[in-house]
Amino acid sequence: MILAGARHEITQCRNHYNHARPHSSLGYFPPVAYAEHCARNSGFSY
> Would you list the domain boundaries of the chain?
22-46
Answer with the residue of higher pLDDT: 44 or 32. 32
pTM of full prediction above 0.85: no
Rounded distance, CA 29 to CA 22, Å? 5
Rounded distance, CA 6 to CA 18, Å? 18
SS3 23: strand
Q: Check residue 25 and report its DSSP letter.
A: G
Enumerate the β-bridge partners of residue 23: 29
What are the DSSP E strand ranges found in the chain?
none
Other Cβ atoms less than 10 A from the Cβ of 21: the count is 13
pLDDT tens for 6-32 read 999 999 999 999 999 999 999 999 999
